[in-house]
Amino acid sequence: MKIINTFAVSAGYASYILLSAQGVSAAENDAQVNTSELEHSDAAIEEIIVTSSFHRSRAETALPVNILTGEELREKVGTTLGDTLQNEVGVNIASFGVNVGAPVIRGQTANRVQVLQGGVGNIDASAISADHTNSLEPALADRIEVLRGPSTLLYGNGAIGGVVNVIDNRIPTQLPNVISGLFETRNNSASDQQVSVLKMEGAIGQFAWHADGIYRDSNDVEIPKYAINPEVVDFTDEDATSEFLETRGRIANSDARATVKTLGASRILDEGYLGFSFNRLENDYGIPPVPSVHHEDEDHDEELEEAHEHVHEDVRIVMEQDRFDFELAVPLAGWFQEVHGRVSVVDYEHAEIEASGEVGTVFEQDGLEGRFSFHLNMPENHDSIVGLHFSRRKFEATGEEAFIPETDIDSTALFSIYSIDTDSTLYELGIRAEHRELEQNQGSCRKSSTSYSGSGSAIWRITERTNLLFSLSHSQRSGTVEELYSNISTSCTELPTDLLVQHAATQRFEIGNPDAGKEKSTNIEVGARKHMGFVTGEISYFYNDISDYLYLFDTDRFQDDVEISRYLTDDAVFHGFEVELNIPLYQTGDHLADLTFFSDYVDAEFDSHGNVPRIPGFRYGVEWRHSHLDWQIKMRWSEVEEQSDLGANESSSKGYSLLNFHADYHLQSDSLSGLLFVRGINLLDEAVRHHSSLLKDYAPAPGRALEIGMRMEF
């Protein structure tokens, strides 16, 4: 009953706030509020892809795209970005406990998937280590777009696998007529997680303003069976068995608390706008413990034993980030039609707090990143954009786990994209050149490289409703700071074995490769998209040949019982397919029912070292939806097959079935709209271990959960 009581209190408080605000709003303006976003409708809506080159509709975009917006986004929003996107076709999650979840696109993640905030890179430490969560807050997004496949032309070095762009209205682009707002609260029974979201928008003269905030609080998450996978437990070891039994029913140290606050404003011009925003994020979350190292040798060094146990204590991460964004979109004259630019300045820090309360390691990254796109004046049916993309970052780690030295990371890129639209075919060509420098602040270790990327795509309009897609791209990626400089000295040589610093998240001594060359990815993709008519959907096949693929290799050598791993290069091939088809079942009056079938598959192999590790298993399923103008019901079943194509020293992951449920109901008054909703997650209470997770054998996904909530808008 705790979930019901918490929800009731939140609902009552929300009603009081919003009904008061309703009176203020009505006194200022009695105009009718547009409530179309809260009504279910089968009307076709043209979706403009903000993250694509020319902001075209989904039907005219060559790359496969996932779009979450409106009610669908609110239905799927989770604690992390990966949690929010994990059910999208072609996208999975690399979790490290419930509080860390990175998106995996076609088997690629971390530094090969570019995560953006409003089109500009997110400057945090999430790619440095698997236990660092992303600093983005999906619950505050108005829209999330995922471009599957290389997108390096616009977004740079980290987009060789794909792009996730989180779009919000923190910098308003239009002048609202009335003050509007949103309040949402929800509670999840698996961790007793309480989430409250508040948004307000309005205008003063020609200035539009935006304010939002979120509060999230959760306890340790409940799971079926045991957190530790019994297949990795040595039951002849009394201590290991005891640790296993203690993990029954929950994941220890998985509680969390986060707050986010944003203020933004824009000067709305006759054409275009100038705006800024400030965002403050605070996040305090636990890292699930892994089993301690046990030794049968009585003469084993006691100090070494204590050091290993110290590594596996409960650790918390306390994260803080301040972010300033500046954006403009203004018309130009002469050769240029308009310019759209955004610059972000970020001050990021997180501290890893040990069980004793002492600060173990502090990671800091301060930086500035910006992108300016100039839209050229072109003849009819021709489009062209030229742009500048730049980034200046300083990374620093201090403390016992500082395995990466203080490094300055600078990059500057120029790009150009051109398209021509004939009667039946849309062609798009692009090229990008990027210069990147990584320099340790002490010593003489410096890495400089220039990478080039290009792409060509075509969309053939077979009929008014059906397109055939083809794209060919060549992308280059330079190594990141952790890949080049982990346990590398100021003279650009690896540290002596006895001075190596352990990376506790991976339980390894990781040694970088400062001599690594650029990854070179050649991607071919073919597909078909039917965007109108009785049956709609998309099917695509991709083949990605990557030379000098940079990855972490376990050497099977140990120092003080900790494995030594090295960043090596090898050629690799990723290929697979994605399918998503929607079929209407019936439509009578205000009722509509349909089925969506989906499936995705990735296979990834090295030329000389077998399979690429942590590749998600084959997935397929179906979703049934019945909707009305006032309510809807959804049931989604997914089947994930066992992953037995394993990388070196990798354990297999069993398959599982997921059954999820969603229902909502709309409430409406003259100037206030409400939505009541309920979600059932993992209704079969399956033990789900994501194969792409480094912690899959110690921190499975949550068990059966009921989530109830309400949203009110005025």
Residues 148-197: pLDDT tens digits?
988 888 888 878 899 999 999 999 999 999 999 999 999 999 999 999 99
Q: Any bridge partners for residue 462, and if so which?
A: none
Cα separation, 88 vs 621, in Å, equals 12
- Helical (H) or strand (E) element with 81: helix 81-85
Q: Give the whole-angstrom CA distance, residue 309 versus residue 331.
A: 61
Question: Which of 175-179, 373-377, 441-445, 626-630 comes out lowest in average pLDDT?
Answer: 441-445
Residue 709 has pLDDT above 80, yes or no: yes
Domains of the chain: 2-713 (2.40.170.20)
230, 190 contact by CB (below 8 A): no
Q: Is 1 exposed, middle or buried (0-12, 13-18, 19+ CB in 10 A)?
A: exposed
Burial of residue 602 (CB within 10 Å: 0-12, 13-18, 19+) is: buried
Mean per-residue pLDDT, 486-514: 89
DSSP string, 462-475: SSSSEEEEEEEEEE
Query: pLDDT averaged over the chain?
Result: 88
Q: What distance lies between CA 318 and its chain's CA centroid? A: 20
Q: Give percent of the chain with pLDDT exceeding 70.
A: 90
How much is the average pLDDT of 674-695? 95
Predicted TM-score (pTM) of this structure: 0.89
307: pLDDT confidence band, cut at 50, 70 and 90?
very low
What is the per-residue pLDDT for 17? 34
Which residues lie below 8 Å from residue 9, measured CB to CB, with a gap of 6+? none
Query: What's the count of helices (H) and strands (E) in the chain, helices before strands?
Result: 7, 32
Q: Are 151 and 162 in contact (CB under 8 A)?
A: yes
CA distance 152 to 507: 32
> Residue 72's pLDDT band (boundaries 50, 70, 90)?
very high
Q: Which residues, including other chains, have CB under 8 Å from residue 60's CB and lie 6 or more apart? A: 426, 459
Q: Could you give the CA distance from residue 689 to residue 225 in angstroms, rounded to a whole number? A: 12
Residue range 443-490, pLDDT digits in tens: 788 999 999 999 999 999 999 899 999 999 999 999 999 999 999 998
> Bigger pLDDT: 129 or 254?
254
Half-sphere CA count of 132, side-chain side, radius 13 A: 24
Query: Of all residues in the chain, what percent carry a pLDDT higher than 90?
Result: 71
In which residue are the tokens 């742009």 written? Answer: 387
Residue 31 has a pLDDT of 37
Higher pLDDT among residues 29 and 266, named by residue: 266
Q: What angle do CA 150, 151, 155 make, to 5 degrees?
A: 140
What pLDDT does residue 417 have? Answer: 95
Residue-level pLDDT at 556: 84
DSSP H helices, 133-175, are 152-155
Q: How confident is the model at residue 19 (pLDDT cuts 50, 70, 90)?
A: very low
Q: Taking 80 as the threshold, does the pLDDT of residue 36 lie above it?
A: no
Q: For 404-413, 437-446, 656-665, 670-679, which range has the lowest pLDDT when averaged over its residues?
A: 437-446
What pLDDT digit, counting tens, does each position of 309-331 carry? 444 568 899 999 999 999 999 99
pLDDT at residue 528, as a whole number? 96
Q: What is the mean pLDDT of residues 25-44?
A: 40
Q: Which helix (H) or strand (E) holds 15?
A: helix 2-28
β-bridge partners, 710: 185, 676
pLDDT tens digits, 551-562: 988 888 888 888
Alpha carbon distance 23, 498 (integer Å): 69
For residues 63 and 372, which has the higher predicted lDDT (pLDDT)? Answer: 372
Q: What is the pLDDT of residue 292?
A: 60
Token pair belonging to 199: 């948004």
Within 27-142, strands assigned E span 65-69, 91-95, 101-105, 113-117, 120-121
What is the model's pLDDT at position 159? 87
β-pairing verdict for 162-167 and 91-95: unpaired
pLDDT of residue 542: 97
Separation of alpha carbons 60 and 420, rounded Å: 12
Which 3 state secondary structure label does DSSP give 277? Answer: strand
Residue 120: burial class (beta carbons within 10 Å; 0-12, 13-18, 19+): buried
Phi, psi of 651 (to 5 degrees): -90, 155
**Residues found in the chain:** 714
Mean pLDDT within 666-690: 94
Give the pLDDT confidence score for residue 533 in this predicted structure. 87
Which of 42-56, 60-74, 310-324 has the least mean pLDDT?
Answer: 42-56
How does residue 49 score in pLDDT terms, banded at 50, 70 and 90? confident
Residues 445-482 as b/e (b if ≥16 CB within 10 A, e otherwise) read bebebebebbbebbbebeeeebbebebebbbbbbbbbb
Region 418-422: what's the mean pLDDT?
94
Buried b (16+ CB within 10 A) or exposed e, 571-582: bbbbbbebbbbb
Average pLDDT over residues 634-640: 98
Q: What pLDDT is attached to residue 122?
A: 86
Q: How many CA atoms lie within 13 A of 36 on its CB side?
A: 5
Mean local confidence (pLDDT), 227-243: 92
Cβ proximity of 187 and 194 under 8 Å? yes
